[in-house]
Amino acid sequence: MKKFSIFTLVLLALVLSACNFPGFEETAVPEQSDDAMATEISKILTGTPVEIQPSATMPVEEEEPTQPVETEETQPPATATPEPEEEEEEEATPTPEPTETPTAEPTETQVADTDPVLTLGDPDWVDNMANGDNWATGYSDYTSIKFEDSFLKLKAESDIDGWRLSWPYLEDFYLEAKLQTPECDGSDHFGLMFRVPENSNANKGYLFGITCDGKFSLRRWDGQTMYFPVGATASDEINAGEDVVNTLGVMADGAKLSLYINGVKVKELTDDAYLAGTFGFFVGSDNVEDLEVWVDQIRYWELD
């Protein structure tokens, strides 16, 4: 009887040690090469990335979606007109040490009268980035992610846009997040990804972002082609440059999309390609190696 009990305990321990939680760690798969395993995990965590041309080659703002921009192998269409840019030389400044509250965070007196948060009440969901419980944190060829000093820190690991997503699945909502970069230059870009139809195969969705030199855009990625419902558009509402905080917001009500920067509506349009999905952040480096975007907070309100 004693021998049988010991054998039973050992067998039970082996069974329990083989369990893990799906979505946060690698699941058990047949033996395969390290390269094949990394590729599969990358697809699950970040979706299919797309190489984005610098903002100087993005189409200018148009009310209707521009001609599609083919990914990776194909250059932007000939109709894309480069915008001349004049950039002032700035002296390099040391990267500040991270703190729990960004030094450039807007104060209450800077909130615009048009900010939706003034009328929406308490948010339905808030993540103050104390830990990575709501995010995919595994291996990716395109991005790395860590949680430090109450920031989500998403770093570009290649010159191809990459993203990380959270789990809530939303239809109609107002979503906003506070973002900053300790170092960026020119067309380096980052922002919100939303209405991603399938979280486990994140190769579709909208990308609302800004560049370091003060432009915003809305892109739509269908897994093969990148469209520009809103081309690269300069805006005084953007706090341009590095080590500054910007609050990006998206009001999605059916096919109606409203884009907010620091509480001010900068664009409203209609696009019904995707009407529900998950959300997260993307980062794309054109100039700065190891570009990072730091996220202080993200929250949303579900619309009635």
Residue 41 has pLDDT above 70, yes or no: no
Q: Please provide residue 4's backbone torsions phi and psi, each rounded to the nearest 5 degrees.
A: -65, -40
pLDDT at 110: 55
Q: What is the side-by-side order of every strand in the sheet holding 205-211? A: 69-70, 225-234, 215-221, 205-211, 189-196, 278-284, 162-165
Q: What is the pLDDT of residues 132-185, one digit of tens each?
A: 999 988 878 999 999 999 999 999 999 999 999 999 999 999 999 999 999 999
Q: Which residue has the tokens 């884009």?
A: 259
Q: Residue 147 and residue 235: Cα distance in Å, rounded? A: 30
What are the backbone dihedrals phi and psi of residue 141, each rounded to the nearest 5 degrees, phi first?
-75, -20
Specify the amino acid at residue 233. T
- Closest by CA to 76, choosing from 226, 213, 218, is 226
pLDDT of 224 > 80? The answer is yes
Contact present, 289 and 272 (Cβ < 8 Å): no
Cβ-in-10-Å burial (0-12, 13-18, 19+) of 78 comes to: exposed
Q: How many residues does the chain have?
A: 304
Give me the percent of the chain exceeding a pLDDT of 90: 58
Fold of 111-302: Jelly Rolls (2.60.120)
- The 10s digit of each residue's pLDDT in 48-84 is 344 333 333 344 343 344 333 333 333 333 223 333 3
Exposure letters 9-48 (e unless 16+ CB within 10 A, then b): eeeeeeeeeeeeeeeeeeeeeeeeeeeeeeeebbbbbbbb
Q: Where do the domains of the chain lie?
A: 111-302
Report how far residue 238's alpha carbon sits from residue 247's, in angstroms, rounded to the nearest whole number: 9
From first CA to last CA, the distance across the chain in angstroms is 63
| Contact (Cβ atoms closer than 8 angstroms) between residue 58 and residue 210 | no
| Average pLDDT in the chain | 75
Which of 188, 187, 166, 144 is closest to 280 using CA atoms? 166
Binned at pLDDT 50, 70 and 90, residue 245 comes out as: very high
